[in-house]
Amino acid sequence: MYRSHVLVCGGTGCTSSGSQQIAQALEEEIAKQGLAEEVKVIKTGCFGLCALGPIMIVYPEGCFYSMVKLQDVPEIVSEHLLKGRIVKRLLYSETVEEDNIKSLNETDFYKKQHRVALRNCGVINPENIDEYIGYDGYAALGKVLTEMKPEEVIQTILDSGLRGRGGAGFPTGLKWKFAAGNQADQKYVCCNADEGDPGAFMDRSILEGDPHVVLEAMAIAGYAIGASQGYIYIRAEYPIAVQRLQIAIKQAREYGLLGKNIFNSGFDFDIDLRLGAGAFVCGEETALMTSIEGHRGEPRPRPPFPAVKGLFQKPTILNNVETYANVPRIILNGVDWFRQMGTEKSKGTKVFALGGKIHNTGLVEVPMGTTLREIVEEIGGGIPNGKKFKAAQTGGPSGGCIPASLIDTEIDYDNLIAIGSMMGSGGLIVMDEDTCMVDIAKFFLEFTVDESCGKCTPCRVGTKRMYEMLDKISKGQATMEDLDKLEQLCYFIKENSLCGLGQTAPNPVLSTLRYFRHEYEAHIVDKVCPAGVCKGLVTYNIDPDKCKGCTLCARACPAGAISGTVKNPHTIDKNKCVKCGACMEKCRFNAIYKK
């Protein structure tokens, strides 16, 4: 027994800010001060507040230290762990209230959250199967194998109303039912961990913080549909998650929780990892399976659906990481418990990766039906630098923008579709008034052009043409006719592409056109970029009343475009200006402005 536990976040965010070195220094310092028998350091998964990393929590007090530096370690050990005096200056400011320490769950960031899929993240050591088992781990698998028939498992998942968390929201139980109904000598259970949406990192955090939950759920799915082999297809860009999964699979095999005759039930199930190699399209289900088979990851037409002919031409189910993370809880806590959370057609919770122009970037899990306003203003802490909320982007390159006028929308699958966006895997990027919507649409189209696999023409050629039109608009060279053509092309690509990538590629354009058409028109008709982002349309100017003639800008200009004499207002030669913005950064009098 230890009298104190120090939980250090070992997720990608905190690891990038140096949490490994801090954990190591802590262990060394604890040993040096003779506390090795009394205090234990545990590396956990993600706490969610990535912007404040490296993060650690000291129990039993529940002290939440943020932005810890290496040089703070000796103080934490000698003051807090040895003498019991909390190091106040390192506490997360939200947890301190007039000398009292609030529990983390009372802070704005955590108060409205409800952790189901993330329940073990930041709580257990993901590299130790005993800690997972200590938190009811593998109890659901045990219950399923010893007390339930496969049909009962499927019925439970069906009744719970769980829908795919990967984006499209297809009922999970239905998928399982189809696959179970098809007879074959071999079936497969696959997990989609190819989280390719830029700005989304929910699945990564679950895999890093609680890898066993995915293994357990896959085994449950295997039992339900009659499969003995599972594959996890994971991005190679997530080295920590890959490593923790490898450890987890090894431990589960040692404990007999994967392999032959699990729980003496006669049920065999094993899981292998397959690493992606950087192709966004492989997040599409048929492309993912083609890639596991060792080919170019190109999608194939459906039908036949994977439940009939999937991986290696056998019946296959494919679910996303977060979907699986819900399964063991549903089995243990029951259908009614799960159905209490969420809206009528979207049950349970959803994890969002909150990013962009917002105070609390990080990972949040909220019940379905939470409004965008609650997420942005309360949990996210609002927009920094006194800027105004302009839009939130959900669903990545397949989704759309939610404008400020719809900030009170309750977020669930159907509401988002209705307003022209989609849930997607859960990336939620907040944008302020400095973001140009034409530029954002162009950014996503550049992504799609790059990632289109090239198999079908509407996507391969169509997205390229769309990008070119957007480029023309952003440079002020387009006509209103081009805008109509662009819109027509969007609908054509949506209807005619082979897979989800092409079918959803026009969404960023369509949704920005729907809510921010005036910005497109400003670029085309007035030849201005209202947000001052599109380089081709911005000019830099000096306000002669504010300019003190200090010459800083002239010296900073790489193009020699600024002229003027000391103590007299300077001017910018627009023909020479390369619009790098260096002058504006250097000016101490706010005399330079973009127009």
| Residues within the interface to other proteins (CB under 8 A) | 12-13, 15-17, 49-51, 53, 195-201, 204, 236-239, 274-280, 291-297, 312, 353, 355-357, 361-362, 393, 396, 427, 429, 431, 435, 440, 443-444, 447, 450, 453, 581
Query: In angstroms, rounded to a whole number, what is the distance separating the alpha carbons of residues 161 and 172?
Result: 8
Residue 525 burial class via C-beta count within 10 angstroms: exposed 0-12, middle 13-18, buried 19 and up: middle
Structure tokens at 21: 């070195």
Q: Are 39 and 3 in contact (CB under 8 A)?
A: yes
Q: How far is the CB of 207 from other proteins (least distance, A)?
A: 10
Residue 69 or residue 149: which is nearer to other proteins going by CB?
A: 69
The nearest distance, CB 551 to other proteins, in angstroms, is 20
Q: Are residues 247 and 212 in contact, defined by beta-carbon separation less than 8 angstroms?
A: no
Q: Cβ of residue 28: shortest distance to other proteins, in angstroms?
A: 22
Distance, in Å, from the CA atom of 113 to the CA atom of 364, rounded to the nearest integer, reads 7
| Residue-by-residue DSSP string for 150-199 | HHHHHHHHHHHT-B-TTTT--BHHHHHHHHHHS--S--EEEEEE---STT
Beta bridge partners of 271: 230
**Minimum CB distance to other proteins smaller for 237 or for 268:** 237
Instruction: Supply 48's token pair.
Output: 């969610």
Of residues 396 and 500, the one with the C-beta less far from other proteins: 396
Smallest Cα–Cα separation from 435: which of 516, 320, 497? 516
Distances (CA, A) of 191 to 78, 209, 322, 483: 45, 17, 10, 40
| Cβ closest to other proteins, residue 125 vs residue 361 | 361
DSSP state of 371: B
Q: List the structure tokens of 538.
A: 């911005």
Considering the complex, state which of residue 54 and residue 328 has its C-beta at the smaller distance from other proteins: 54
Give the shortest CB-84-to-other proteins separation in angstroms: 31
What are the DSSP calls for 383-433, one per residue? -GGGPPEEEEEESGGG-EEEEGGGTT-B-SHHHHHHTT---TTSEEEEEET
Q: Give the whole-angstrom CA distance, residue 452 versus residue 344.
A: 36
Q: Cβ of residue 440: shortest distance to other proteins, in angstroms?
A: 8
- Identity of the residue, 161 or 500, whose beta carbon is nearer to other proteins in the bound complex: 500
Question: How do 349-356 and 427-432 pair as beta strands?
Answer: parallel
Instruction: Please state the closest distance from residue 293 (CB atom) to other proteins, in A.
Output: 5
Q: What is the C-alpha separation between 563 and 565, in angstroms, rounded?
A: 7
Q: Minimum CB separation from other proteins for residue 141, in Å?
A: 26
CB of 473 to other proteins, least distance (A): 18
Report the residue number, 15 or 113, with the smaller CB distance to other proteins. Answer: 15
Burial class (CB within 10 angstroms; exposed 0-12, middle 13-18, buried 19+) of 472: middle
DSSP letters spanning 188-243: EEEEEE---STT--HHHHHHHH-HHHHHHHHHHHHHHHT--EEEEEE-TT-HHHHH
Closer residue to other proteins (CB): 4 or 20: 20
Tokens standing for 578?
């390369």
Q: Considering the complex, what minimum distance in angstroms separates the CB of residue 359 from other proteins? A: 11
In the complex, the smallest distance separating the C-beta of residue 215 from other proteins, rounded to whole angstroms, is 20
**Residue with Cβ nearer other proteins (291 or 421):** 291
Residue where the block lists tokens 């001052």: 532
Give me the phi and psi of 574, to 5 degrees please: -65, -25
Distance in angstroms (rounded) separating the CA atoms of residues 527 and 548: 31
Question: Which residue type, as a one-letter code, is found at position 247?
Answer: I
CB of 361 to other proteins, least distance (A): 4
Give least dist CB 226 to other proteins, A: 19
Q: Could you tell me if 583 and 550 are in contact, meaning their C-beta atoms sit under 8 angstroms apart?
A: no
Nearer to other proteins, 207 or 330 (CB): 207
Residue nearer to other proteins on the CB measure, 51 or 77: 51
The nearer residue to other proteins, 48 or 500, going by C-beta atoms, is 48
To other proteins, the closest distance from the beta carbon of 38 in angstroms equals 32
Closer residue to other proteins (CB): 363 or 366: 363
| Comparison of 160 and 229: residue with beta carbon closer to other proteins | 229
**Which residues 6+ apart lie within 8 Å of 579 measured at CB?**
535, 538, 539, 540
Supply the minimum distance, in Å, between the C-beta of residue 50 and other proteins: 2
